Amino acid sequence: MKIALIGYGKMGKEIEQIAISRGHKVELIIDQDNQNDLCPEHLKNIDVAIEFTNPNSAYNNYIECFKANIPVVSGTTGWLDKMPEIEKFCKKGKGFFYASNFSLGVNLFFELNKKLSKLMAPFKEYNVDMEEIHHTHKLDSPSGTAITLAEGIIDNHPKKEKWIEATSMKEDEVSILAKRHGAVPGTHAVTWHSEVDEISIQHQAYSRKGFALGAVLAAEFMPKKEGFYGMNDLLQL
């Protein structure tokens, strides 16, 4: 499989190593210095693009790939206000795979979070809050993973209607506390607490390798596909 790698920071380099180890070729690398090379001419022999950049450039990167009919796998977060436009492209035959987190463990954690939210729904004594910790270079806050977790709670708990990035005791809000420290790859904790006890679930990433492997697996899934896909499609959850 021939891959275009859009974004060549720490995550991009990790993806490159794993892709090569699995027998793929990284035919095109796009970084800050050669943005103009992301065009149909340079994408004509590419099977799939993997995009990990930043919220300001992600959408335009997707569009350039769509022009060349190249499916895109993206882990960039913070751009979701434009998701309806991407979904329109997918209905017109383009292929797009998005995940706020490509880690197998995190996606199992998403399912555990939904299940726990359903279990807690009848018990008004408990309220919930979340904490996420990432490296100081992470641009968006709260993380896309934290937002996905919050949405999982809202979808499965009838009294929760929205999330806020602040401490809250309101019955209809999910509180998210975002912290940025050192080189932490990512830690997410969801805690249900009452006056007498608390129940907490947590996922802690040790490195970027789990995220990178998931992105490469998604890329293997996407060639010649049309439509919008996510980790549930890949993992059949």
Radius of gyration of the chain (CA): 19
Contact 10, 212 (CB under 8 A): no
pLDDT at 115: 97
pLDDT at 130: 95
Kindly state the average pLDDT of the residues 13-23. Answer: 96
pLDDT at 128 > cutoff 90: yes
List C-alpha distances in Å: 57 to 90, 202, 208: 19, 31, 22
pLDDT at 237: 65
Name the DSSP letter for residue 222.
-
The 10s digit of each residue's pLDDT in 28-40 is 999 988 999 999 9
pLDDT at 207 > cutoff 90: no
pLDDT at 218: 96
Contact 29, 56 (CB under 8 A): no
Q: Exposed, middle or buried, 106 (CB in 10 Å: 0-12/13-18/19+)? A: buried
| Residue 185: alpha-carbon gap to chain centroid | 13
Query: Annotated catalytic residue: which of 134, 157, 160, 188?
Result: 134
Backbone angles phi, psi at 55, to 5 degrees: -60, -25
Query: Annotated catalytic residue: which of 24, 94, 138, 203?
Result: 138
pLDDT at 91: 95
Half-sphere exposure of 87 (CA within 13 A, CB side): 6
Tokens standing for residue 1: 């499989």
Which candidate, 231, 207, 206, 228, places its Cα nearest to that of 217?
231
pLDDT at 216: 97
Asked if 138 is an active-site residue, the reply is yes
Task: Report the SS3 class of residue 51.
Answer: strand
pLDDT at 110: 94
Kindly state the average pLDDT of the residues 127-152. Answer: 89
Q: Report the DSSP beta bridge partners of residue 6.
A: 30, 51
Tokens standing for residue 100: 């706020």
- Rounded CA-CA distance 172/165 in Å is 14
Contact 224, 158 (CB under 8 A): no
Average pLDDT, the chain: 93
Kindly state the average pLDDT of the residues 208-217. Answer: 92
pLDDT at 197: 98
Q: Where are the alpha helices (DSSP H) in the chain?
A: 10-21, 40-43, 58-67, 83-91, 104-120, 144-156, 209-221, 231-235
The 10s digit of each residue's pLDDT in 146-191 is 999 999 999 999 999 999 998 877 889 999 999 998 888 889 999 9
| Domain annotation for the chain: domains and CATH numbers | 2-102+209-235 (3.40.50.720), 104-204 (3.30.360.10)
Tokens standing for residue 59: 């959408």
- Rounded CA-CA distance 135/61 in Å is 24
- Rounded CA-CA distance 188/52 in Å is 20
